[in-house]
Chain A
Amino acid sequence: MNEHIVKSYEDELNTLTAECARMGGLAEAQVGDSIEAVVKRDQALAEAIVGRDERLDVLEADIERKAIRLIALRQPMANDLRKTVAAMKIAMNLERCGDLAKNIAKRTLVLTEAEPLTPLTRSIERMGKLVLGRLKDVLDAYTASDLDRALAVWSRDDEVDEHYNSLFRELLTYMMADPRTITACAHMLFVAKNLERIGDHATNIAEIIHYEITGAETIGSARPKTDDLAREV
């Protein structure tokens, strides 16, 4: 690591990365808790998640403020500039993840009032674990500046998509079999969609890490895609 002559500049840069990592930890916890709340139909946990979302918003604003201040006062170049911009963009993505987790929690509050959809919750749980694992991997890659790990997350987005598509079909069959479950199933569908979006944010973060480390724009169309909407209906 090349050190800066001005020590506090170094500190400011490190603070940005550290705050991003801490925010990542919070976002991970929010997403993990929201999955647990849906699966275990835990109303108290869901309410706690809704209440905690503000901390992520505050952290994001804080990171953005610090990043802008750093750009204005220190005029970072090359590596340092990319680090600063990356912190800002990652914070934005994490804040969105938090919002999606909050939305899952809110839907949980509705879902707990309906009859449980047991086999479906298992599918949601598996998809949730997959998404959470990707978020963890990408944040590990960020704190360790590990390009290979980031690329591994980035190239594996299709797994989440396949799970989402499979869940979509499952939900359709449930709704057709018993129209009374439509309300609950519709909420479940949004829960699944939110999880899929969180997976996309993890992919975004992987792209930002790629940019931070290499300085090259991301990577075009090499990523496998299975978004064939016509196939689903």
Chain B
Amino acid sequence: MSQTPPRGWLRLSGPALITGGLGVLALLALAPQAPGAVWMAGFLAILVLAVAWRSARIAEVEWPAPLAPTRPRHENAPPYVSIINALPDPVLVIAAHEPDDLTGRRFVMVNEAARDLLRIQYDAGLLVTAIRDPQVLEAVDEALFGGVDSQAIYEVGGAQARVLKAFAKPLGTAPDGSRLALLVLRDETDIRRAEQTRADFLANASHELRTPLASLSGFIETLRGHARADEGAREKFLTIMSTQAERMARLIDDLLSLSRIELNEHIAPQGETDLALAVMDVVDALGPLARERGVTLTPCLPARGEALVSGDRDQIVQVVQNLVDNALKYAPRGSTVKIALAGGLTAEAAAAPIRPQSARLSLLTPDHGQDLYAALRVSDEGVGLKREHLPRLTERFYRVEGQKSGERSGTGLGLAIVKHIMNRHRGGLAVESVEGEGATFSAYFPLADQTVTRPETPRPDAVTKPS
């Protein structure tokens, strides 16, 4: 690296030196009356010219000409930088000097996709602050110092987990002598997730569908056999069979919709939806069921537009519906189910408990803690849930022990679906419960308009952050 400054100096001053040398020779020719200095000055001039020639040689050898296009570029072709910036795959250019110098590995160029994925805020910086996966770093090192192409699998954890394939390629040497490598990341989450979902679907479906199927084939056998002539029994069995068939259909619907949601979980939804309207729709739709059960639904909604959230309307309606439906299942006759909605809350406020002495657990916490949310709270006055069940509520087919089967039994997928939809919407889900008094589920979605004045949130420690 010590060569760097003189080389630059020589290059810049090459033409100047040639001019200088010629100038000295010209002076010699003009001033022949000073013979003592002639040899001295002549020697000096030759020396200067030699240095100039050498510096020109250095420039020639070590400065490769800029990549000359073999054909002239189209006049409308944009600069390469803007093309790289627009690429959908994250691209980074990494520069490094020596293998054992950790601070030496820096990213010197990142495109928009890379900024987005790796949350990079600067144009250049230390590579380890952006990517610390040892396998990816090794692949980059191989490209930088081994000069070979290399690949690695890069798994980004977190709520919306991703699997990427990292390709590292050597890019030669930069003008300042550091080595360069290109790192391209390709998102393979879809492929991985499709495999995983198919495996899960088969495992779940085969296991859960077997129960109603067994009961169906049992009844068919009975109807063919000794109940063949029994009019009353036939009617009774057919009723049970149709309930079981409906249950199977519901299960398949839920499994399919869960698979669909899971496949798209890492893709943020488009569009805006007024949460208040979604709640109104669900209250209208579930009204008859509530009356049948003798339960009152009391929605408490804010003004229109206050709970405008970004998200997929159908999925948001599904969240509201599943939560209210759940509450209806456990609400005793004559009680009320409260559906409260509020906008402009921070994540902490949205998930804050509303009953003292309650067991409370966040089932899903959003990644970006600083957004504002609209929170939906559905409370019932049922038996409540024991604390030890809370962490497992969103598991597929998890049923609270001692829960009555029969008309109340759902598919066991409702809350799993809610959780996956909330995760896709970058929202949160919390549950709190007091045994014997009822349970409250809070689902909170990020507001579409984040510019609403933010309420002051006290820090737990009240320490001010130095800016």
A→B interface (CB under 8 Å): 11, 14-15, 17-19, 21-22, 24-26, 28-29, 32, 122-123, 126, 129, 132-133, 136-137, 139-140, 143-144, 147-149, 151-152, 155-156, 158-159, 162-163, 165-166, 169, 210, 213-216, 218-220, 222-223, 231
Contact = CB atoms under 8 A, between A and B. Distances in A.
A72 B130 CA distance: 30
A133 B158 contact: yes
B158 A22 contact: no
Contact of B119 (A25, A122, A140, A219): A140
B195 interface: no
A149 B365 CA distance: 12
15 contacts: A15-B102, A18-B102, A19-B102, A22-B102, A28-B157, A29-B133, A122-B395, A140-B119, A156-B362, A162-B390, A166-B388, A166-B391, A216-B461, A218-B461, A219-B461
A151 B131 CA distance: 22
A43 B391 CA distance: 30
B390 A143 contact: no
A14 B126 contact: yes
B450 interface: no
Measured as residues with beta carbon below 8 angstroms from the partner, the interface class of chain B is: 35 or more
Given A22-B102, A26-B134, A140-B119, A214 B129 contact: no
Contacts of A162: 361, 387, 390-391
Nearest to A21: B128
A21 B129 contact: yes
B187 interface: no
Contacts of B155: 32
A137 B366 CA distance: 12
Interface in B376-400: 387-392, 395
Nearest to A213: B465
B127 to A, nearest CB: 8
A18 B391 contact: no
Contacts of A158: 361
A11 B103 contact: yes
A218 B135 CA distance: 34
B463 A132 contact: no
A222 B460 contact: yes
B132 A28 contact: yes
B103 A159 contact: no
Nearest to A224: B360
Top 8 closest pairs, chain A to chain B, by CB: A25-B132, A222-B460, A143-B129, A21-B128, A219-B461, A216-B463, A166-B391, A152-B369
Contacts of A231: 387
A115 to B, nearest CB: 18
A25 B361 contact: no
Interface in B198-235: none
